[in-house]
């Protein structure tokens, strides 16, 4: 790697004193990096930098540990749970917000833990969506994925299952015909959604898009979550291109996340004021379908809130007062 990439001083310094999330870059991503471009968007997301060793922020700003009902189940919102199916990924994103868990000691889920999760869902009818996440669920074996999808489905016919993954980008070859047969069968038994994590148009390679198409052709809707990252996608031109191309590939831009206050990610964070400027510009350029929701997961487990320019400027018992996107005033009767 060192010979191909000509490491910068900051990258070299991390290698001399590696800490936090381990280094892992899959071959397809590594091949995407332009070795002569120190600001390559893939390089910035996957090659570690010594600034990660800054330990000033929290390891768990979303207080996920507090909201965990077991080692692998986070029940933060009443109607949906996150199931941490494994701590492994095909590549480790330097901005990973779950680094207290990712690539640590939990490993892959066992059949017993899947059975326990199924029992939890049986006992909690109020939960009607499960995020199969981690880590990356597609690092699990075909057999374990099949066991998980069928076991959860058997207990709860109504469950919406979100398959959360970055494998379409980091290892699109994972979606073999055998695996897609398992997915097809599971999707016949109940609704599956594919949740991808594209951050930059460079990641939309033909192989990657073909692996998404293997899902959408089965009638599985696909949604994308992007993380706003300094030096990667913190400008309206890049995000406009990304969202337009995602939508054309049948992937609905869902969230644009403000980078969480996680240890080791400060150098990748974009100031909120700049994020809001970008959101405003994107709203001018993108259709409603192509527009993601700029969202912050509030510290200390405050939960997700949507960030957007405020148009409601005042309200009383009679009138709500708005500014139009052009800055004019409009009134709307309260009743
Ligand atoms: C973000 C998140 C969800 C899903 O939230 P949506 O707004 O429905 O996408 C569920 N559980 C946890 C713990 C989350 O962080
Ligand atoms: S794929 Fe997700 S869980 Fe894995 S390192 Fe990236 S952000 Fe973290």
Of the listed ranges 53-57, 250-254, 267-271, 328-332, the one predicted with least confidence: 53-57
Query: What is the rounded distance in angstroms from the CA atom of residue 12 to the CA atom of residue 274?
Result: 30
What does the block give as tokens for 261?
A: 């206050």
Alpha carbon distance 171, 86 (integer Å): 16
pLDDT grade for 238, boundaries at 50, 70 and 90: very high
Q: 89 an active-site residue? A: yes
- The mean pLDDT value of the chain amounts to 96
pLDDT digits 0-9 by tens, 132-177: 999 999 999 999 999 999 999 999 999 999 999 999 999 999 999 9
Average pLDDT over residues 234-245: 98
Q: What is the pLDDT of residue 65?
A: 94
Q: What is the dihedral of CA 145, 190, 69, 86, to 10 degrees?
A: 20
What mean pLDDT is predicted for residues 38-53?
A: 96
State how far the Cα of 265 lies from the Cα of 248, in Å rounded to an integer: 31
Q: Is 34 an annotated catalytic residue?
A: no
Q: Which residues contact 154 (CB under 8 A, 6 or more apart)?
A: 118
C-alpha separations of 298 from 61, 257, 260, 327 in Å:
8, 11, 8, 29
Residue 19: the pLDDT is: 85
Q: Tell me, using a 6 A CB cutoff, whether residue 90 lines ligand 2.
A: no
Q: Looking at residue 2, what is its pLDDT?
A: 65
Cβ–Cβ under 8 Å, residues 335 and 328 = no
Catalytic-residue membership of 237: no
pLDDT of residue 55: 85
Q: Whole-model pTM above 0.95?
A: yes
pLDDT of residue 239: 98
pLDDT, tens digit, for every residue of 268-294? 999 999 999 999 999 999 999 999 999
Segment 187-204 shows an average pLDDT of 98
Substitution site in 82, 193, 197 for ligand 1 pocket (most atoms within 8 Å of beta carbon): 82
Looking at all shown ligands, the one closest to residue 298's CA atom is 1
Band of residue 205 on the pLDDT scale cut at 50, 70, 90:
very high
Q: Retrieve residue 87's tokens.
A: 């701590």
* Among 127, 128, 131, residue to substitute to test ligand 1 (most atoms within 8 Å of Cβ): 131
Pocket of ligand 1 (CB under 6 A): 74, 76-77, 80, 82, 131, 304
**Which residue puts its alpha carbon closest to atom 2 of ligand 1?**
82
Predicted confidence (pLDDT) at residue 3 exceeds the cutoff of 90:
no
- The confidence band for 314, taking pLDDT boundaries of 50, 70 and 90, is very high
Domain residue ranges in the chain? 9-310
Q: Which atom of ligand 1 is nearest to the CA of 295?
A: 7
**Paired tokens of 192:** 């599956």
- Please indicate whether residue 92, judged by its CB atom, sits closer than 6 Å to ligand 2: yes
Catalytic residue chosen out of the listed positions 80, 155, 213, 230: 80
Residue 84 φ then ψ, to 5°: -85, 90
pLDDT at 322: 98
Of 49, 87, 88, 93, which is the active-site residue?
93
Task: Summarize pLDDT for 28-43 with one digit per residue, the tens.
Answer: 999 999 999 999 999 9
Dig out the tokens for 54 from the structure. 């800054």
| Active-site pick, 43, 60, 72, 96 | 96
The answer to whether 332 is a known catalytic residue is: no
pLDDT tens digit sequence for 67-121: 999 999 999 999 999 999 999 999 999 999 999 999 999 999 999 999 999 999 9
Domain 9-310 homologous superfamily, CATH: Aldolase class I (3.20.20.70)
Query: HEC string of the chain?
Result: CHHHHCCCHHHHHHHHCCCCCCCCCCHHHHHHCCCCCCCCHHHHHHCCCHHHHCCCCECCCCCCCCCECCCCEEEEECCEEEEECCCCCCCCCCCCCCCCCCCCCCCCCCHHHHHHHHHHHHHCCCCCEEEEECCCHHHCCHHHHHHHHHHHHHHCCCCEEEEECCHHHHCHHHCCHHHHHHHHHHHHHCCEEEEECCCCHHHCCHHHHHHHHHHHCCCCEEEEEEEECCCCCCCHHHHHHHHHHHHHCCEEEEEEEECCCECCCHHHCCCHHHHHHHHHHHHHHCCCCCCCEEEEEECCCCEEEECCCCCEEEECCCEEEEECCCCCEEEEECC
Considering every ligand atom shown, identify the ligand nearest to the alpha carbon of residue 128 and give its number: 1
| 69 alpha carbon, closest ligand | 1
């Amino acid at each position: 790697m060192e010979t191909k990439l000509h490491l910068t001083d900051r990258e070299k310094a991390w290698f001399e004193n590696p800490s936090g999330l381990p280094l892992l870059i899959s071959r397809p991503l590594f091949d995407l990096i332009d070795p002569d471009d120190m600001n390559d968007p893939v390089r910035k997301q996957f090659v570690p930098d010594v600034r990660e060793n800054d330990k000033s922020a929290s390891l768990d700003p979303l207080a996920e540990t507090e909201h965990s009902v077991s080692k692998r189940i986070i029940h933060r919102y009443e109607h949906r749970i996150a199931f941490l199916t494994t701590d492994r990924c095909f590549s480790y994103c330097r901005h990973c917000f779950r680094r207290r868990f990712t690539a640590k000691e939990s490993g892959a889920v066992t059949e017993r833990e899947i059975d326990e999760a199924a029992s939890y869902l049986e006992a909690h009818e109020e939960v009607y969506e499960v995020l199969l996440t981690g880590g990356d669920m597609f690092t699990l074996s075909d057999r374990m994925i099949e066991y998980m999808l069928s076991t959860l489905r058997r207990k709860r016919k109504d469950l919406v299952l979100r398959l959360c993954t970055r494998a379409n980008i980091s290892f699109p070859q994972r979606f073999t015909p055998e695996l897609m047969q398992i997915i097809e069968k599971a999707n016949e038994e109940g609704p599956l959604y594919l949740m991808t994590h594209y951050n930059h148009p460079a990641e939309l390679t033909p192989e990657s898009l073909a692996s998404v198409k293997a899902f959408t052709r089965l009638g599985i809707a696909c949604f994308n979550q992007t993380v706003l990252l300094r030096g990667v996608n913190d400008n309206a031109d890049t995000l406009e291109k990304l969202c337009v191309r995602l939508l054309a590939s049948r992937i609905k831009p869902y969230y644009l996340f403000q980078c969480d206050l996680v240890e080791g990610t400060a150098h990748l964070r974009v100031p909120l004021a700049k994020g809001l400027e970008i959101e405003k510009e994107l709203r001018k350029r993108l259709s409603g379908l192509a527009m993601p929701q700029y969202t912050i997961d509030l510290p200390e487990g405050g939960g997700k809130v949507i960030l957007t320019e405020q148009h409601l400027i005042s309200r009383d018992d009679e009138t709500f007062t708005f500014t139009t996107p052009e800055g004019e005033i409009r009134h709307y009767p309260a009743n």
